[in-house]
Structure 1
Amino acid sequence: MVILLFVALFVLFLINVPIAIALGLASVIVFIASGQTDLITLPQRMFAALDSFPLMAAPFFILAGKLMEHGGISQRIVDFAKSLVGQFRGGLAHVAIVSCLIFAALSGSASATTAAVGAILISSMVKNGYDRNFAAAVNAAGGTTGIIIPPSVPLVLYGVSAGTSVGALFIAGILPGIMIGLSLMLVAYIISRIKGYGAASEPTNIRKIGTSFKDAFLALLMPIIILGGIYGGFFTPTEASAIAVVYGFLVGIFVYKQLTLGVMRKILVESAVTSSVIMFIISTAALFGMILTREQVPQSFAGLIMDSALSPIMIILLINVMLLLIGTFMETIASVIILTPILLPIVTSIGMDPVHFGIIMIVNLSIGLITPPVGVSLFVAAQVGETKFEGVVRAVTPFLLMMIINVLIVTFFPFLSMGLLQLRQ
């Protein structure tokens, strides 16, 4: 039955059936083939998978991210980042990455981060002599931090799937996200020196930084309120997501005054569509997971790995390679939901903390956002930057290699993920 399950799934993927429908159809095919006709249990299982309080954080953070994206916050974040790093060689490339880091702490989404920052900066970079493909690639690479820097929707889903504290995962994602951002800035600096992009300008001054900080203060305050409230124990991640929506709405409509009725309609429609797609994937993935559990696939796979006499280092390297490959053709959210129950028993059996592994998984899968053929952030950046997908793929390669190095650093230096948690205890 397991073979039939994966063959059916592969065939459905091959004919471009959407992943949520493919997961559900493959599960139903195996369910019927096994001689069971009581199909009423399937929708019950799908509903049970969505009946989760922590899972409610996902649609709220999606809505909060949309409010931030359209509520006048993006430009203020870019201006603040420009005052900090705009004077260095390749300044606008650094501005893009720093802006992505800040916006990631607001949106929880890689595609939203890439779109919001790229819409402002790509055309500006081109006007200032940067290659269009490079400009798009910088924003695509920077946008990957959207699912690493908290609050992150994939981290919420991993926490639900693994039965792990979402708050702990948020804390664990801070240092790796910052490290990845700095490493991407290093790549941008080297390329800018080689290509002659963005000659260094006059150093900034405290007054300029202060002015831009004042303009962006309410935007920068949001992640402090949300994450500080979670870490301080004032509210749960789910409650924080609802607070983020209220905060984003109030700032956008009363302070920046850019949330008109037309904009709100667009925000609500986009948020509803995105949330429904995620929930559909989660519910059908629950059917897929039910069959895997019934056939004891996670236990068998874990036993196969453990009986292979591989060292713990080789096991985690093997898992990293698998995640990198899967991320190239499977959407991040689906990968998290499907793979977590399979891989978590293996890594815990070799002594790895589930929170540490969650960060490893998300950083791995973030690379898939800038890797063809799926490469969601690449498509977004190419569309926003009005350039060809193939050109962005070539330009993003150096950033892609740096991301792979980051995966190894996050894997073998657990203090990056666990350090802040240990200090908190």
Structure 2
Amino acid sequence: MTAFFLIAQMAGAGFLALPRALADVGWLSVPMMIIFCVSVAFAGTRLGKSYVLLEERWPEEYKHGSRQPYMEIADKALGPVGRKVALWSVVLNLFGSTVVFIILISDMVYKMIWVAMDEEYVCGITKCHLILIVGACIIPLTWLGSPKDFWQASVLAVVSTAIAVIVIIVEIFSKPEQLPDNPPYPNPTVYSFSLGFGAILFAFGGASVFPTIQNDMADRTQFWKSVIAGFCGILSMYLPVGVVGYAMFGDTVQSNILLTVEMTVPVMVAVGLEIVNLLCTFMISINPVVQTVEEYLGVPSHFCWQRVVTRTLLVMLQMLIGTAIPSFGKILNLIGGSLITMCTFILPPLMYMKLIDDRSDPKWPVKTIPLWKRIYLVEIMIVGIVGGVCSTLTAAYDVILASFNDSCFTHFYNCPNPV
């Protein structure tokens, strides 16, 4: 079940943007995806072991779990400053990621309406309207408790994603007439490579939620097995859809592969399933954010009116951001290059090494890290820092342009063709 939660967390919007990411990076992105998958999985197992270390060293504090497990690991490993860095990184990462989900759901609903109805009727409602409608529909889903209270969401998310991947691949091969005659494969530029780097990071960027999911396990020492199973599952879906989408469409592929293929009945079904997937992933991803906010506001952990008000206001803020920058690809690239890099590539290896090297209490069993593992962890951090800085700067420039040119505040009643 934990592996299902991990797949659901990462596969929400990541696989939809992968073909575009491959087009931005070029064929080098295929080995890059595999390396990132292995590296993030390894860092994820170290994050899980860090949480187990907290249980072993401070059993009275953590034997019953924690509402902020990622931040607790950062606090014990890096002190109060590290806790604040982790807190802001995790909260902003998941908050921004769930904004992406709202925009993406709105995109796909708009495309389905456009295909199903005549243009004159569609023009009565725009994607900007749909962002507000989708956000309003999502609000009640956020009132649930922790992931263990909605484990069915993870199963639905994984099944929906697997079906969507199969439909996309079958549709591409069964409808060759929709493919470009000579798909372009231009060499990547520094600008495009940086954007693609951020999108690939986003596709594997679920580490900020890992401790929250691990927190609900009966035996948290087994988390590493769930990580291996989850990343094997995620790579088995990512590689086919990414490679096939880029190989067949080349540089003409859109930010969302589902909106690139012809909108046939099977694709419409896949879009519907992916909307279900994103709704389920939204529920999982927003949970650490709302729990953190509630912890600081003193909101009780049981269902109450304070929870309803707090979580409703948070989603309304997301709706406001979505209407300001209604391009999911641009926000995805920015989050992937900055916050996901911090939560997935930098903090987990650093926290694990600091905890293992901590000798402040002589009662603790002495633990060591083999040299090859330490070198690998340092390499993961270096790749994250260098790639993340380049990707963040490039994506931030894109977002700033979008906020002036594509904002719903200036185009709220426009009726653009989503194709």
Is the TM-score greater than 0.5? no
Return the structure number with greater relative CO, CA threshold 8 A, min gap 6: 2
TM-score (norm 1): 0.29
